[in-house]
Amino acid sequence: IEDFFQCFLISLQGATSITTFVVFLCDKIEPALRQAVFERTAKDIAEDMKSKLPDFRGNRANLEVCILRYLAEQENFAYFKQYLRSPKQFFQSYIKRRVKSHCLDGNRRLGMVLHSSLESLYENILSAVSLSTRIVKDREDREDKISLWLDEFCRELAEVINLPRSDLKAIEHQEVTDIEFLSSAMAKALIDLTDRLMKELADADMSSFSRQPHTILAEHFSGCWEQCPFCGAVCTNTMRDHDGDHQPVFHRPEALKFYTHELVTATCSNRVASNCEFSTGDHQWIPYKTYRKAGPPYSTWNILPDSSMQAYWKWFVSRFRTELEAFCNGKFQGSGVIPEAWQRITKQEALSELDRLQATSMGRKNRSGFAV
């Protein structure tokens, strides 16, 4: 009888030690798992959008074309103003809008991706428990089996969740001898933990992320943000400090950068094909044809001579003439009179031009990261 009670007490002490161990470890796992779920979900959403949405399947030039298409489709001058004034900020807000639409549509995509991330991470942790148990249970040469179990457990999860081994020192000397019992206790506790988090995630929204999916996408497509000194068009190179010249999707009417009394409809591409001159601000006049002689920032841009202009900007200037004149505090008059032919260009023609341009930007790329 005495032997029976002694064994019972030892068993009870062991069970108590395992309970203490499991509760402590799960309390450490829970916040780390929650954080890992949102981090993985944010990355998965970004990757999903890059594979499924045309906006994000190509390079920066392709995304720029998609933004121009969005602006035309919305036909809201307030959006155009934001884009012209702060292209980088508009770019970021556009991506944020697209992410929100993608995640919070009628398919409840956000909830499904969160649950998928949690289930995957749960399997990772359960696998780590099983592997650590297999490695440690027959190690007769080690008395500190729990410490060894924790070493293996944290090592296995190192690339999955942020669970520092140093945070678990308080339980590494627990008197636990039945490693397999510990494994089954952990498996049960992990089910309860996962169930709690699953219910919690049901109320999650985009504000729940510490690092937003749209931030990941914006960083991926960031690159260069230099603007043409003549017309304000944004360089779409995928590298911030890239080699070679800056180059946009296409140049714009100079009126969109220089707000003068007489607004200019010509682009810098038109100008370098003409005999016009420009002032560098120090009363020095330089022919557009030799604009590189003006030095930086002019000399860092690739502006090819082109006497034509894209239908998109012709449509835009004609469609929003009144708003542009108020915005730029000038008039399209004199040499800046809007040709009558521009006024006949339809929005659909402007959009069709973007479709052709997008087909190009999704094609081959040259060494500078531009579509060719």
Q: Which residues, in sequence order, are CB contacts of 316 under 8 Å at separation 6+?
A: 72, 80, 350
Tokens representing 127 are 């696998």
Q: Which residues, in sequence order, are CB contacts of 88 under 8 Å at separation 6+?
A: 225, 234
176, 268: one domain: no
Is 371 a member of any domain?
A: no
- Report pLDDT for 309: 86
> How many other C-beta atoms can be found within 10 angstroms of the C-beta atom of residue 124?
17
The domain in which residue 255 lies consists of 223-362
Is 188 a member of any domain?
A: yes
Q: Which residue has the tokens 């206790």?
A: 185
Amino acid letter at 120?
Answer: S
Give how far the C-alpha of residue 301 lies from the chain's centroid of Cα atoms, to the nearest Å.
27
Tokens representing 7 are 């064994």
**Could you tell me if 65 and 361 are in contact, meaning their C-beta atoms sit under 8 angstroms apart?**
yes
Is 372 a member of any domain?
A: no
172, 242: one domain: no
SS3 label, residue 285: strand
| Residues in the chain, pLDDT under 70 | 1-15, 106-107, 140-142, 361-372
23, 166: one domain: yes
Is 71 a member of any domain?
A: yes
Q: What is the pLDDT of residues 228-259, one digit of tens each?
A: 999 999 999 989 889 999 999 989 999 988 77
Of 195, 221, 247, which residue sits at a domain end?
Answer: 221
265, 215: one domain: no
- Report pLDDT for 186: 95
- The DSSP 8-state label assigned to residue 208 in this structure reads G
235, 332: one domain: yes
From residue 260, give the alpha-carbon distance in Å to each of 179, 278, 314.
Answer: 80, 14, 19
Q: How many domains does the chain have?
A: 2
186, 37: one domain: yes
- Report pLDDT for 293: 93
- Report pLDDT for 363: 59
- Report pLDDT for 139: 77
Is 367 a member of any domain?
A: no
- Report pLDDT for 13: 42
Is 369 a member of any domain?
A: no
- Report pLDDT for 371: 37
217, 248: one domain: no
Strand partners, 285: 279
From residue 144, give the alpha-carbon distance in Å to each of 132, 150, 164.
Answer: 13, 10, 19
Tokens representing 1 are 């009888």
The pTM score is 0.84
189, 235: one domain: no
Q: Which of 152, 194, 163, 133 is nearest to 24 (CA)?
A: 163
2, 114: one domain: yes
Q: What is the pLDDT of residues 160-184, one digit of tens each?
A: 999 999 999 988 887 777 888 999 9
337, 262: one domain: yes
Is 274 a member of any domain?
A: yes
10, 148: one domain: yes
**Could you tell me if 233 and 304 are in contact, meaning their C-beta atoms sit under 8 angstroms apart?**
no
- Report pLDDT for 68: 96
Of 206, 221, 236, which residue sits at a domain end?
Answer: 221
Of 186, 201, 221, which residue sits at a domain end?
Answer: 221
Q: Which residue has the tokens 């200037």?
A: 317
- Report pLDDT for 364: 43
320, 337: one domain: yes
**Could you tell me if 249 and 75 are in contact, meaning their C-beta atoms sit under 8 angstroms apart?**
no
